[in-house]
Amino acid sequence: MKRTKTNNKHTIRRILKYAARYKGSLAMAMIFAVLYVVLTLAAPVLIGQAIDRIIDKGKVDFPAIANLLLMTGVTVLGCAVFQWLMGLFVNAVSYLTVRDIRDELFEKFNTVPLKTIDGHPHGDLISRMINDTDNIGTGLLQGITQLFSGIVMIVCTLGFMIMLNVFIALVVVVITPLSMFVAAFITRLSQKQFREQSKTQGEISSYIEEYVGQQKLVKAFGYEDKAQEGFEEINECLRVSGQKSQFYSSLANPSTRFVNGLVTTAVCITGAVSVINGHLTVGQISAFITYANQYTKPFNEVTGVIPQLQSALAGADRVFELLDTPDQKPDAENAAPLAVCKGKIDIEHISFSYSPDKPLITDFALHVKAGSRIAIVGPTGCGKTTFINLLMRFYDVTGGDIRVDGQSIYTMPRDELRSLYGMVLQDSWLYNATVRENIAYGKPDATLDEVKAAAKRAFIHRFIERMPNGYDTMITEEGANLSQGQRQLMCIARVMLCDPPMLILDEATSSIDTRTELKIQEAFNNMMQGRTSFIVAHRLSTIKEADVILVMKDGHIIEQGSHSELMAQNGFYHNLYNSQFAAT
């Protein structure tokens, strides 16, 4: 998106709306900024008066100078205190604002459709949450501090200069705007590069997250060199965009300082003439030179923080882009949960595609009796997992309807619908917490005895008891201190604890050894008694006992029946099954 002044103003207004929640702190910061500026401008007057009392030989007024030095010391001390207090309140506003934006971002992750999360590299989303919000905080901090105090400094300094000499003040006012034009020109040059830099930061975060998370796979296939090459390519793009943005933005400060040097030169020349003509004293021209520097200083400071401000704007664009993403379609107003779920499911000619030009599932129909065990098999990409996503409304169908016990799932609250299913996936997920907390993830109020009972049913209890702190043992991030099979057993225990009326097992035993798998199958058989269960499996030996086996291909059911019926048909399933158990 091409940046315009309107874009910038809109983005700044949105940031300030967050900051406006803390009006009290902002007001205190502004009060202390005014006091800081007033005392800063009072010091040159005191110093100028002291100079006028020592200008003539043998006419030094030591008592007056002592008083002026004392007042100057108090003024300088007051400046330091008020500057510190101003920074304190500005910091508070900045970090509170960033906290609020991050809270909204995280909440947004929970309200957007799943396709939004799937459609962005996860590292890029993390970069928006961390790096871009940090840039907003830094830009906001610098912007409030420099902009407001700079405006106050300019206005007050201009007033002091007019009181001293109107003509010299006009010289300063006429020349100084040149620095603003220079800064605006350079800002336009660097703006594009800062946006490119933020985008590339998201790409490199995504790349790192992907390869660090799959480091075993990288090493197993000897992909280190290619991974390094890919990283260096993105890193080089980041270097180029960062170097260009910093180069262009770094031109602003010295350029404006050059213009400000012209201001100081003009003040010195016109001031010297005024002193010679008796219109100003030496002390007054000394104060005037100081004021001229103070007047131009805010322009220098603003151009000095242009990189942070532009980086903040670029980061804010990426953050607000995500915050403006439409939420998932809300539940229907008349949405109501099932009073009792028996598990009868009717799938009425549904259609679905991830992109409009690539249909995946078309005219899919299925009627499942309550308590049935439905196995779903087929080649990769045929729509098995997509079908499961549609059952739980992770994605919505583009045509047709799905009904549970006669009620459309689109007239149920999503949370209620998903609570009807217990789901065990091929990819197990654990988080950094105790074993007990991980098993009780879906039922946080479960007692320890209930957790242990679920673990026993999943044949993981004995292993947990042997761990250093039993059920209070901490699991590292993503269960890195457990084997894949142990992680999956804990995920199975998690579902067994929730005891849902329907089950979805998506390659649930793929990482478990054959002996343990037999025990798990026995536990599953007990748990599936009287429950409608969907079993997605590649290992066909695990689904022979299913009531109905659905064979999918290209989004359609091409065969269905029991294991023996399908084998007797000598069709696609027959060939698929024999391909796994053919003699070598």
Residues 277 and 411 in one domain: no
- Residue 335 in any domain: the answer is no
Residues 355 and 314 in one domain: no
> Are the C-beta atoms of residues 291 and 173 closer than 8 Å to each other?
no
CA distance 374 to 386: 15
**Domain for residue 570, yes or no?**
yes
Nearest Cα residue to 88 out of 152, 153, 25: 25
Strands lying side by side in the sheet with 556-561? 421-424, 502-506, 532-536, 373-377, 548-553, 556-561
Which H or E run contains 42?
Answer: helix 23-52
Say if CB 161 and CB 295 are below 8 A apart: yes
Same domain, 276 and 402: no
Distance CA 414, CA 332 (A): 10
- Cβ atoms < 10 Å from Cβ of 340: 6
Q: Interhelix angle for 484-498 vs 514-528, to 10°? A: 10
Is residue 311 located within the same domain as residue 355?
Answer: no
Q: Are residues 319 and 421 in the same domain?
A: no
pLDDT value at residue 203 = 82
In a domain? residue 331: no
Cα angle 52, 57, 58; round to 5:
100
Query: What are the residue ranges of helices labelled H in 277-403?
Result: 282-304, 306-323, 384-391
Task: State whether the Cα torsion 68-69-73-76 is positive or negative.
Answer: positive
Q: What is the CATH number of the domain that holds 222?
A: 1.20.1560.10
One domain, residues 376 and 491: yes
Instruction: State the CATH number of the domain containing residue 522.
Output: 3.40.50.300
Residue 343 confidence (pLDDT)? 86
Same domain, 310 and 432: no
Q: Is residue 477 classed as helix, strand or coil in its secondary structure?
A: helix
Domain boundary among 323, 356, 379: 323
Query: How many Cα atoms are found within 13 Å in the side-chain-facing hemisphere of 487?
Result: 20
- Core vs surface per residue 225-236: b (16+ CB within 10 A) or e: eebeeeeeebbe
The DSSP code sequence of 370-435 is TT-EEEEE-STTSSHHHHHHHHTTSS--SEEEEEETTEEGGGS-HHHHHHTEEEE-SS----SEEH
- Specify whether 315 is located in the same domain as 355: no
SS (H, E, C) 76-136: HHHHHHHHHHHHHHHHHHHHHHHHHHHHHHHHHHHHCCHHHHHCCCHHHHHHHHHHHHHHH
Residue 243 lies in a domain: yes
What pLDDT score does 85 carry? 92
User: Do 172 and 68 fall within a single domain?
Assistant: yes
In a domain, 224, yes or no: yes
10 Å Cβ neighbour count for 326? 9
Domain membership of residue 447 (yes or no) is yes
Segment-wise mean pLDDT, segments of 10 residues, the chain, 584 residues: 61 86 88 86 77 67 81 88 89 89 90 83 83 84 72 80 78 73 69 75 80 74 82 87 78 72 77 75 75 72 68 85 87 82 88 81 85 84 81 89 91 89 81 89 90 88 90 81 80 87 78 67 73 80 79 80 87 81 49
Range of the domain at 551: 345-581
Residues 157 and 274 in one domain: yes
CB atoms within 10 A of CB 565: 13
Sign of the Cα torsion 182, 185, 187, 189 reads negative
Radius of gyration of the chain (CA): 35
In the chain, the number of structural domains is 2
Measure CA of the first residue to CA of the last residue in the chain; give whole Å. Answer: 59
Tokens representing 448 are 């320890």
CA pair distance 417, 269, nearest whole angstrom: 82
In a domain, 340, yes or no: no
Pair 528, 503: CB distance under 8 Å: yes
For residue 559, the one-letter residue type is E
Do 215 and 98 have their domain in common? yes
Q: 25 near 58, Cβ under 8 Å?
A: no
Report the alpha-carbon distance of residue 574 to residue 563 in Å, rounded.
9
Q: Rounded to whole angstroms, how far apart are CA atoms 11 and 26? A: 19
pLDDT the model gives residue 1: 43
Strand partners, 346: 367, 403
Task: Examine the domain organization and report whether 357 and 272 are in the same domain.
Answer: no
In a domain, residue 506? The reply is yes
